Amino acid sequence: MFDRRALLIGGAAVGLFVGLRWLHGSDVQAAGPFEIDKSDSEWRRLLTKAQYEVLRLHHTEIPGSSPLNHETRAGTFACAACDLPLFSSETKYDSRTGWPSFYRPLPNAVGTSTDHILLMARTEVHCRRCGGHLGHVFQDGPPPTGLRYCMNGVAMKFIPATAGAA
């Protein structure tokens, strides 16, 4: 009788612990390791302060602050940290959110993880190669995917397609 009760309490405690870890753990760090793996101080040196705060600390830029919101030329949006091409201009659209938005990433460009802010689960999007945080993906995008990749412009760099090669 006593053993059984102890077992139940023990089980509940483990469950609670796991639950708390789930709520708290990995809310910012995507699962590594990544192909490009640098120390925090290296990233701090390589990136601008604004880039570092978004890519490494998962901050969100002020809406409307990125010049990439208004970028309409043909080209590629690449990771600001490791230059991996992430999105084609062909999948960019105006979501009116103040953040550069796309309905589909390039093949094998991004990874996702789940983060929890105020118990609300969101799907975090990061660079597949360096793990840098890019933004989030939501299910209220346009056809053909219905997805909205809501990106921080500061986490990306735009590479215009060269004339004639588009």
- Catalytic machinery residues: 150
Q: Figure out which of the listed residues 50, 54, 78, 81 binds Zn ion, where binding follows CB under 5 A.
A: 81
Count residues near Zn ion (CB under 5 A): 8
Candidate segments 16-24, 25-33, 59-67, 84-92, binder of Zn ion by CB under 5 A: 84-92
CB of 120 to Zn ion, least distance (A): 26
- According to the binding rule CB under 5 A, does residue 79 interact with Zn ion? yes
- According to the binding rule CB under 5 A, does residue 80 interact with Zn ion? no
CB-CB neighbours of 38 under 10 Å: 17
Q: Which residue number, 86 or 147, has a Cβ lying nearer to Zn ion?
A: 86
Q: Which residue number, 26 or 46, has a Cβ lying nearer to Zn ion?
A: 46
Question: Shortest CA distance to 109 belongs to which of 93, 91, 97?
Answer: 91
β-sheet with 101-102: strand ranges across? 92-93, 101-102, 148-151, 133-138, 120-127, 110-117
Cα(71)–Cα(92) distance, integer angstroms = 9
Cα(125)–Cα(110) distance, integer angstroms = 7
CB of 128 to Zn ion, least distance (A): 8
10 φ/ψ angles, rounded to the nearest 5 degrees: -60, -45
CB of 15 to Zn ion, least distance (A): 37
7 φ/ψ angles, rounded to the nearest 5 degrees: -65, -45
Of 97-156, binders to Zn ion (CB under 5 A) are 127, 129-130, 132
Cα(134)–Cα(86) distance, integer angstroms = 10
Residue 101 and residue 141 in contact, taking contact as beta carbons nearer than 8 Å: yes
Q: Which residue number, 51 or 101, has a Cβ lying nearer to Zn ion?
A: 51
CB of 129 to Zn ion, least distance (A): 5
Q: Which residue number, 60 or 142, has a Cβ lying nearer to Zn ion?
A: 60
Residues lying near Zn ion in the complex (CB under 5 A) are found at 79, 81-82, 84, 127, 129-130, 132
